[in-house]
Amino acid sequence: MSSKLKRASWFLFGLGCLIFFTILKLPREPIKDSLHTLIADALAAQGANFSASEEDLSFFLLPSYDLKKVTLTLPPPADAARVDQISISPRFLPLLMGRWGADIQIKEGPGKFKTSFSNRSNSLSASFQSDQFDLGRLGILPLFAGIQGSSILEGDGSVSTDLQALNETDGTINLRLTKISLEPQTIAGFALPKLSVSEALIQSTIQKGKAKLTAVKIGKPAGTGATGDDLTATITGEITLGKTFEMSTLNVKAHFKFSENILKSFMLLDVILGPGKQADGSYAYMITGSVAQPNAQPWTPGGGN
């Protein structure tokens, strides 16, 4: 090891020790209050708030802010969500490089969701890992997608982007959703019936803002002794991210089919999707144009556009 590298290593070690022992001397209550306020403000921006039966600030090995028996109050009509534990720890390595970041872990029953992120100015890097995480119990779908429903999430992913230039995004996404259930609700002015899907697979790679859908499959078709899911679909193509999300463009083909129960419950569905109906009762559409104003045109699977 060269003398310069040795000096740099000792400098980083010394700086890390200085930061660690300085944090040990900081008063805990003001830090806890500041962290509580930071989380409350972030949730308030989404119209939500939270409370916890226990809040603890630990300095064992690495500082950690732990919330136990957390209740999330979400915007109506969503019900309150309850989480066993949320742990937040600062990331020191990005801090040494002029970035700030944190590791966050959420536990609810047997499910876990972990995410790590670092940020500097508009540059954001993040990764996540999910294991049997119940989105319905946490209330993520109503909060972020405006959809009443639930699902078990498994998988992982990572992304790096410039928040002011999404067309510079790189990343990978590998997700598996099971026990998908959407409650009866009104979306875009249409009253939709209850919809159940056993599983969905979503895999995508993103390079320089171009997201290629390598595998997107939803539901299982009916088979021997099984009635099948309310929705089965295969989606292929790519999404080209623009500088902002609204400027992104679509080039996607969707081939999907609804169960007889859904078609009977929502008779207008066949009328609306009729132009893309196939001989087997499925529907096929090519979706192009901007995300803000997509254009859907019928196409024939296996027969070109």
Distance CA 201, CA 232 (A): 11
**Residue 243 clears pLDDT 80, i.e. is over it:** yes
For residue 77, what pLDDT is reported?
A: 66
User: Per-residue confidence at 203, pLDDT binned at 50, 70, 90?
Assistant: very high
For residue 75, what pLDDT is reported?
A: 72
Of the ranges 214-223, 238-247, 276-285, 288-297, which one carries the lowest mean pLDDT score?
214-223
For residue 129, what pLDDT is reported?
A: 96
For residue 204, what pLDDT is reported?
A: 96
Q: Are 38 and 30 in contact (CB under 8 A)?
A: no
Average pLDDT, the chain: 81
Distance CA 197, CA 211 (A): 25
Of the ranges 184-198, 247-261, 271-285, which one carries the lowest mean pLDDT score?
184-198
For residue 206, what pLDDT is reported?
A: 96
Of the ranges 48-52, 57-61, 85-89, 275-279, which one carries the lowest mean pLDDT score?
57-61
Picking from 141, 263, 268, the residue whose alpha carbon sits closest to that of residue 195 is 263
Please give the helix or strand (H or E) that residue 269 lies within, else none: helix 268-273
Buried b (16+ CB within 10 A) or exposed e, 139-156: bbbbbeeeebbbbbbbbe
- Per residue in 27-56, pLDDT (tens digit) is 566 666 767 777 777 777 767 788 888 888
Q: What is the CA radius of gyration of the chain?
A: 23
- Per residue in 205-237, pLDDT (tens digit) is 999 999 999 999 999 876 544 567 999 999 999
For residue 99, what pLDDT is reported?
A: 65
For residue 61, what pLDDT is reported?
A: 60
Of the ranges 139-143, 146-150, 177-181, 282-286, which one carries the lowest mean pLDDT score?
139-143
Q: Which residue has the higher pLDDT, 251 or 34?
A: 251
Mean pLDDT of 188-201: 84
Distance CA 105, CA 109 (A): 13
For residue 294, what pLDDT is reported?
A: 92
10-14, 24-28, 142-146, 184-188: which has the highest mean pLDDT? 184-188
For residue 155, what pLDDT is reported?
A: 96
Mean pLDDT of 140-166: 84
For residue 92, what pLDDT is reported?
A: 65
Q: Which residue has the higher pLDDT, 1 or 180?
A: 180
Q: Which residue has the higher pLDDT, 12 or 100?
A: 100
